Amino acid sequence: MIKKILITILFLMVLIIGVIKGITDEATPMKVAILTNTSIYPLSGYTYKTESELCFLVNKQILSVPAKFETDLASIPRWYWSIISPARSDLIESAIIHDYLYQCHTSFTRKEADDILYASLLNEGVDRFIAGKMYFAVRVFGSSHFKDLDCENMYGYQKFRENNTAT
């Protein structure tokens, strides 16, 4: 009984925060755009691998997620799926970028990675309310996933490739 009450309270908090984030005029300072698309293929369970490089723009800097990057996309807990489904196609590229920033980040803080996710979702046409719920979820539950892995040795590619600056 207590567990159901706590889940209901958490659910309501997510809805409220999603609405607040979605309707506020306080825009994230990040200007984000996805420049290339990628496709993914399943590895096992909920793990996927990118087929090609995914280029994106953050505040006029072109960055990329390399091909063969392993991702779990939007690692949304099962109990949260009734709030937002992880299988939405409009979330995929933003989720891959966010996973990459969480695993192989350089100069981005966790908050900046979350802001990039939010801005990317909005830029991809995701509703502000849904983007707000995603933002809330990563802010509340994402800290344990923010790691600085040795991506060069793990995946055989440089940690973060900065292509160039867009004009």
Cβ neighbours of residue 86 closer than 8 Å, sequence gap 6 or more: 46, 73, 74, 75, 76, 95
Cβ neighbours of residue 130 closer than 8 Å, sequence gap 6 or more: 18, 22, 84, 121
* CA proximity to 155, closest of 56, 43, 36: 43
Q: How far apart are CA 41 and CA 143, in angstroms?
A: 27
The answer to which of 3-7, 16-20, 68-72, 88-92 has the lowest mean pLDDT is 16-20
Model confidence over 145-162: pLDDT tens digits? 887 666 666 655 544 444
Model confidence over 108-118: pLDDT tens digits? 889 999 999 99
Q: 28 pLDDT exceeds 80?
A: no
Instruction: Give the distance between the most distant pair of CA atoms in the chain.
Output: 57
Model confidence over 133-148: pLDDT tens digits? 889 888 888 888 887 6
Query: What size, in residues, is the chain?
Result: 167
Model confidence over 43-61: pLDDT tens digits? 888 889 999 999 999 998 9
Cα R_g (the chain), whole angstroms: 16
**pTM for the complete prediction?**
0.76
Domain boundaries in the chain?
2-165
Pairing between strand 61-65 and 161-165?
A: antiparallel
Q: How far apart are CA 36 and CA 85, in angstroms?
A: 23
pLDDT at 134: 87
